[in-house]
């Protein structure tokens, strides 16, 4: 199935990624859910993930729905996302499953890493990245490590635990075989749960 072109011209690669990474930061608003709803946050996150799944299903199956949604989100969508689930689908499921399985503290750390460390690492990698390290740039991976370390340490983990978790998280982000919007919050939450 093909869809009509977006009414807005697509952004070039770097501007598109900048828009996407700034949108990532809006994920910090999800921190309000556990703050105000406590243990019910799990149910709310699962409901949001299901809602996003239904919307994504409609978008992928209905050209009319696709036109409306892509008109609104055209500046945030990668070209390949017009034919498959968007990053938001993976973002909401990664966060929902983190809160469901790993508790509020660890899931919050996973969300913070996804919403802050991941976009900052991407921006650093795009602008300053000159040296290849595994699948991404050394500069971006170093930025991810440092921001994650700061998040974990400020959250109250010991320096040793924060260093260990930041190092594992940086490798997870760099080598992620699946969409990192899904894997990062789950992986960080699971590792936090074990530390």
Contact 90, 27 (CB under 8 A): no
Residue 76 pLDDT grade (very low, low, confident, very high; cuts 50, 70, 90): confident
Contact assessment for residue 81 and residue 59, using Cβ atoms and an 8 Å cutoff: no
Identify the sign of the CA torsion 54, 181, 22, 27.
Answer: positive
Question: What is the per-residue pLDDT across 151-184, written as a single tens digit (0 to 9) for each?
Answer: 999 999 999 999 999 999 999 998 888 888 999 9
What's the domain range around 43? Answer: 13-194
pLDDT: is 39 or 7 the higher one?
Answer: 39
Question: What digits encode the pLDDT tens for the residues 112-159?
Answer: 999 999 999 988 998 898 999 888 999 999 999 999 999 999 999 999
Per-residue pLDDT at 5: 41
Helix (H) or strand (E) holding 64: helix 63-73
Q: What does the alpha-carbon distance between residue 147 and residue 170 come to, in Å, rounded to a whole number?
A: 10
Q: How many domains does the chain contain in total?
A: 1
Q: How many angstroms from the chain centroid is the CA of residue 82?
A: 18
* Nearest Cα residue to 144 out of 161, 157, 126: 126
Is residue 1 one of the residues assigned to a domain?
A: no
Structure tokens at 30: 């999800």
Establish if 7 belongs to a structural domain. no
Kindly state whether residue 93 falls inside one of the protein's structural domains.
yes
- Residue 16 is predicted with a pLDDT of 66
Residue 3 domain-assigned (yes or no): no
The answer as to whether 169 is a domain residue is yes
The dihedral region occupied by 4, where left means phi > 0, alpha psi between -120 and 50, and beta the remainder, is beta
pTM of the model: 0.83
- Report yes or no on 100 lying in a domain: yes
Q: d(Cα 118, Cα 125) in Å, to the nearest integer? A: 10
Per-residue pLDDT band at 89 (split at 50, 70, 90): very high
For position 13, what pLDDT does the model report?
56
User: Is residue 8 a part of any domain in this protein?
Assistant: no
Residue 6 located in a structural domain: no
Please report the pLDDT score of residue 2 as a whole number.
Answer: 40
The encoded tokens of residue 23 equal: 């949108």
Q: Which pLDDT score is estimated for 84?
A: 86
List of residues 6+ apart from 171 with CB closer than 8 A: 134
């Amino acid at each position: 199935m093909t869809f009509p072109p977006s009414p807005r011209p697509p952004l070039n690669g770097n501007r598109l990624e900048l828009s996407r990474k700034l949108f990532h930061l809006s994920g910090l608003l999800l921190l309000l859910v556990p703050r105000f709803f406590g243990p019910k946050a799990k149910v709310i996150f699962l409901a949001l993930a299901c809602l996003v799944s239904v919307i994504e299903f409609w978008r992928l199956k209905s050209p009319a729905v696709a036109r409306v949604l892509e008109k609104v989100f055209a500046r945030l969508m990668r070209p390949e996302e017009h034919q498959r689930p968007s990053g938001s689908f993976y973002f909401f499921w990664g966060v929902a499953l983190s809160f469901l399985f790993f508790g509020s503290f660890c899931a919050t750390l996973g969300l913070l890493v996804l919403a802050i460390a991941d976009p900052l690492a991407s921006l650093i990698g795009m602008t300053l990245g000159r040296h290849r390290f595994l699948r991404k740039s050394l500069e971006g991976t170093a930025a991810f490590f440092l921001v994650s370390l700061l998040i974990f340490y400020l959250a109250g983990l010991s320096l040793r635990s924060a260093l260990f978790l930041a190092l594992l998280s940086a490798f997870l982000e760099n080598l992620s075989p699946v969409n990192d919007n899904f894997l990062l919050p789950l992986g960080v939450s699971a590792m936090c749960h074990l530390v």
